[in-house]
Amino acid sequence: MQQKSIRRSNRDRTEATRADLIAAARKLFTEKSYAETSTPEIVAAAGVTRGALYHHFADKQALFAAVVEQEAAVVAEEIERASPPSLFARDALIAGSDAYLAAMRAPGRTRLLLLDGPAVLGRAAMDEIDNRHGNRTLREGLVAAMRAQAMVKLPVEALTALLAAAFDRAALAVEAGSSADDYRTVLMALIDGLSPHQAPRPARTR
Amino acid sequence: MQQKSIRRSNRDRTEATRADLIAAARKLFTEKSYAETSTPEIVAAAGVTRGALYHHFADKQALFAAVVEQEAAVVAEEIERASPPSLFARDALIAGSDAYLAAMRAPGRTRLLLLDGPAVLGRAAMDEIDNRHGNRTLREGLVAAMRAQAMVKLPVEALTALLAAAFDRAALAVEAGSSADDYRTVLMALIDGLSPHQAPRPARTR
DNA sequence: TAGATAACATACAGTCTGCATGTAAATGCA
DNA sequence: TGCATTTACATGCAGACTGTATGTTATCTA
């Protein structure tokens, strides 16, 4: 039984170590915040040394960026899984909204993605990440709604960003204990307010 | 000419030192971000020692909170000065929005109030501060609009928070170089979308 | 005017980050 | 297959920062 260090390719080693570091960092960043989490803690949880961390990542911030990137991808995936794209434009938007709010209830996720992320990486970097993941489906949904004449024509980038900001704040408020129903109601009202005709829609806020 | 330490009351000393510290911290926090600003830098700029800082504030975070508090008050003041409350509900909202976006163009203000503030103090603390200053007028404007039947009835707290979030994101986007007109257009559309009747309003987005 | 207290200044301990250096494993090439 | 090179780490170190404890001076109070 030769247990001592089976031969592993460098690519496998790198991949495994990076994954361990990201996983450990994710756990701590969601539990405690970026500033309160130290690199000694992270590497201890990952079972490596700080040398490994600084070999694979330029600095603590780069590791944080990797965690945010991954978490944003997970959120986007959860949304796409929960909201089938084969619906009327408005229904797709609503389904996506609910899926987003549900996804953001994972512990620590709001702080990671909505508080620490923008502060540590900057809004520009966060926009870049969001546009690559979550916001993409939102923007496409809005474009589809506009094309289907189900929504007034507006600058797409700005509308996407502002609705996303509203969703984000709603997620934070719900996590803080506010009424999820209230926020959902207002979000739906904001979206429905963008309808062009204003025929008396069925007031199904639930 | 006896120049050596004219007698000053303790209250005056405290007031002056606190003001110096807050002013120096404000300058650095708006130039560089909370994390990149060190207490040695702050006290050097204020002309005191770290002993004074830790005598007047529990920690660096408490000094930051004082800076945020003051800056939020200044923003609220600028808004109230720029937007006369004697108008129709919708016009008052629009005037307030423009005043807010204008006020947030002060260098570093968006990072201080919209990025570092929430990350360092938490969203709950920022909500508390906002509700005491800026958001107050917004909420009152919304309540007035609802009473005047100029806006659909919605949960006030949630509506205030979500609109404020949209304004915040707009301010960040404009600072980052996005089209101020686009964001203004979308903000107005969101507000107008909350009108109950939907008579074809004059499309004066400018 | 003396003692108490507030407003600082100075000194120190502990921790953290980033880098430089050292070592073992893997890779590439003759 | 053997060896030089590169990669993937581990270890050690320097600088900086935060918070506190202690010392000193100015103000307040009785």
Give mean pLDDT, residues B179-206: 78
* Alpha-carbon span A180 to A167, nearest angstrom: 12
Closest residue of chain B to A33, computed from CA coordinates = B119
Residue A106 has pLDDT above 50, yes or no: yes
Separation between the CA of B7 and the C1’ of C3 (whole angstroms)? 20
Residue B2 has pLDDT above 70, yes or no: no
Residue A205 has pLDDT above 60, yes or no: no
Chain-wide mean pLDDT for chain B?
91
Interchain contact B35–A (C-beta under 8 A):
yes
Q: What is the pLDDT of residues A43-54, one digit of tens each?
A: 999 999 999 999
Q: Which helix (H) or strand (E) holds B103?
A: helix B89-103
Cβ of A122 less than 7 A from strand C: no
Separation between the CA of A69 and the C1’ of D4 (whole angstroms)? 39
Buried b (16+ CB within 10 A) or exposed e, B58-83: eebeebbbbbbbebbeebbebbbeeb
Which bases of chain C are contacted by protein, using any atom under 7 A from a CB? 6-11, 15-22, 25-27
Interchain contact A155–B (C-beta under 8 A):
yes
- Radius of gyration in angstroms for the set of CA atoms belonging to chain A, rounded to a whole number: 20
Closest residue of chain B to A111, computed from CA coordinates = B119
Q: What pLDDT, on a 0 to 100 scale, did the predictor assign at position B206?
A: 34
Q: What pLDDT, on a 0 to 100 scale, did the predictor assign at position A86?
A: 63
Residue A3 has pLDDT above 80, yes or no: no
Query: Which range among A3-12, B73-82, B98-107 shows the weakest confidence by mean pLDDT?
Result: A3-12
Separation between the CA of A55 and the C1’ of D2 (whole angstroms)? 29
Give mean pLDDT, residues B95-107: 96
Cβ atoms of residues B135 and B78 within 8 Å: no
Q: Is the domain covering A60-194 a CATH 3.30.70.980 domain?
A: no
Cβ atoms of residues A68 and A112 within 8 Å: yes
Local structure of B57: helix, strand or coil? coil
Report CB contact under 8 Å: A166, B168. Answer: no
Residue B200 has pLDDT above 80, yes or no: no
Report CB contact under 8 Å: A116, B119. Answer: yes
Structural domain boundaries of chain A?
12-57, 60-194
Separation between the CA of B49 and the C1’ of C11 (whole angstroms)? 13
Identify all chain A residues contacting B115, using CB atoms and an 8 Å cutoff.
118-119, 122-123
Report CB contact under 8 Å: B170, A162. Answer: yes
Please report, for chain B, how many H helices and E strands are present, in that order: 11, 0
Q: What pLDDT, on a 0 to 100 scale, did the predictor assign at position A1?
A: 37
User: Which nucleotide minimizes the distance between its C1' and the CA of A52?
Assistant: D9
Which residue is closest to C9 in terms of CA–C1' distance?
A: B51
Residue B7 has pLDDT above 90, yes or no: no
CATH of region A12-57 = 1.10.10.60
Give percent of chain A with pLDDT exceeding 70. Answer: 90
Higher pLDDT, residue A50 or A144: A50
Cβ of A10 less than 7 A from strand C: yes
Residue A204 has pLDDT above 50, yes or no: no
Tokens for A27?
A: 């756990």
Cβ of A50 less than 7 A from strand C: yes
User: Which nucleotide minimizes the distance between its C1' and the CA of B56?
Assistant: C7
Q: What pLDDT, on a 0 to 100 scale, did the predictor assign at position B161?
A: 98
Chain A nearest CA to B192, separation (Å)? 8
SS (H, E, C) chain A: CCCCCCCCCHHHHHHHHHHHHHHHHHHHHHHHCCCCCCHHHHHHHHCCCHHHHHHHCCCHHHHHHHHHHHHHHHHHHHHHHHCCCCCCHHHHHHHHHHHHHHHCCCCCHHHHHHHHHHHHHCHHHHHHHHHHCHHHHHHHHHHHHHHCCCCCCCCHHHHHHHHHHHHHHHHHHHHCCCCHHHHHHHHHHHHHCCCCCCCCCCCCCC
Give mean pLDDT, residues B35-48: 98
Q: What pLDDT, on a 0 to 100 scale, did the predictor assign at position A90?
A: 85
Report CB contact under 8 Å: A164, B162. Answer: no
User: What are the distances in angstroms from CA A47 to CA A10, A15, A18, A64, B168?
Assistant: 18, 15, 12, 18, 41
Separation between the CA of B182 and the C1’ of D22 (whole angstroms)? 59
